[in-house]
Structure 1
Amino acid sequence: MKKLNWFNNVENRTHPWEGMGLTWLTTALNVPNVRAAVDFYTGAMGMVAIAELEGDDGEMMFARIRYRGTNFTINKEGWDSDLSGPQTSGSPTPFIFYMYVDDALALVDEMVQAGATVLNKPAEMFWGDLKARVKDPFGFIWDIAQKL
């Protein structure tokens, strides 16, 4: 297998819209309860809330959060699209987030204490990462990784 440098194609060009940093791609997560999702991602996973939007009924419909320059939007199911999240649909997501952190063991513990489920315990991977697979309370799957 040819050894590649996974990071040699990283473009260091800022986004033209102020506040977007280097992020040119935003992932949208559809959930039944935006407030609960924001609380989990900011509280247990250390993400930062950037913006929140309430509907006329006072219920949160949308939020933007960020993890180290990567933006995520959290959308109430049925608000921006007809898509349901995995928690409501019962179907697993066809993708996995791979998230590098400073301390994988500590973050996995925080996630579990906040309601996540460990699918694969932390283990050293042949490529040099310590990695655990965790399902968050909304059904999204995260590979929590730390470079060893």
Structure 2
Amino acid sequence: MADGRPNLISAVCYRDPRAALAWLEKAFGFELVFLVEDAEGNLGHSEMRFGNAAVMIGNEWSDDHKSPASVSGKNTQTVHIQLSEGDLDAHCARARAAGADIIVEPETQFYGDRTYRCKDPEGHIWTVARTVETVSVEEMERRTGLKITGQG
């Protein structure tokens, strides 16, 4: 992190960014740390934190910056949340209770993370993971039959 801010921050567009701010706090435990409003109280920019990571939440501000809700539910990126503590299944239950559409139920992956995938109320796809097992590259290859390069 440079100057206390992450080096990479995703910016996610919503039709209703204020509702998104409240939902992300309720569903995932994000914390609002920065909010810019114009003279009429319209949201201009915001930033939320989750651990040492951040995400910017904004409105649809051009023809090229749209919520999936405005483009037939299509996503061109997904956001990944890596939990460093806590129970992934409980996190999934929290998100479900907040209205998340769980599209992949919690499951332990060959690489040692337990993950689930969901859609938020506007259709953005979020993947949430928690490492539950340290797995060597050799073991990942044995489990999958794939050739794996690097350390992940």
Class of the TM-score when normalised by the shorter of the 2 chains:
0.7 to 0.9
What's the secondary structure of 1:44's corresponding residue?
Answer: helix
* 2:13 maps to 1:30: yes
Given candidates 81, 106, 129, the residue that maps to 2:90 is 106
Which residue of the partner structure matches residue 58 of structure 2? 75
- Give 1:41 deviation, angstroms: 1.1
TM-score, normalised by the number of residues in structure 2: 0.77
Q: Gaps (5+ residues) in structure 2?
A: 133-152
- CA shift, 1:144, in A, is 1.2
For the pair 1:46 / 2:12, whether they are aligned, the reply is: no
State the alpha-carbon separation in 1 of the partners of residues 13 and 103 from structure 2. 21
User: Are 2:130 and 1:146 aligned?
Assistant: yes
The number of equivalent residue pairs is 129
User: In structure 2, which of residues 91, 105, 108 is the aligned counterpart of residue 121 of structure 1?
Assistant: 105
> Could you tell which deviates more after superposition, 47-56 or 114-123?
47-56
> Match of 2:28, SS?
coil
Residue from 62, 66, 75 that aligns with 2:49? 66
Instruction: List per-residue Cα deviations over 1:28-69 (Å, max 9, x = no partner).
Output: 111011111111112221111111122232232321111112
Show structure 1 runs of 5+ residues with no match: 1-13
* Aligned residues of 2:27 and 2:100 also touching (Cα < 8 A): no
Q: Is the 8 A contact 1:34 1:62 kept in 2?
A: no
Structure 1 residue 96: deviation in Å? Answer: 2.3
Residues in 1 aligned to 2:44 and 2:100: alpha-carbon distance in whole angstroms:
23
TM-superposed deviation, 1:91: 3.4
State which of 56, 70, 94 in structure 2 corresponds to 1:88: 70
Counterpart residue type for residue 104 of structure 1? L
* TM-score using structure 1 length: 0.79
* Equivalent pair of 1:123/1:130 in contact (CA under 8 Å): yes
**Greater helix content:** 2
Provide the C-alpha distance between the structure 1 equivalents of 2:115 and 2:81, rounded to a whole number of angstroms. Answer: 9
Q: In structure 2, what is the Cα distance between the partners aligned to 1:60 and 1:43?
A: 19
- Identity across matched positions, percent: 26
For residues 110-136 of structure 1, the C-alpha deviation after alignment (integer angstroms, 9 at most, x for no partner) is 111111101011111111111111111
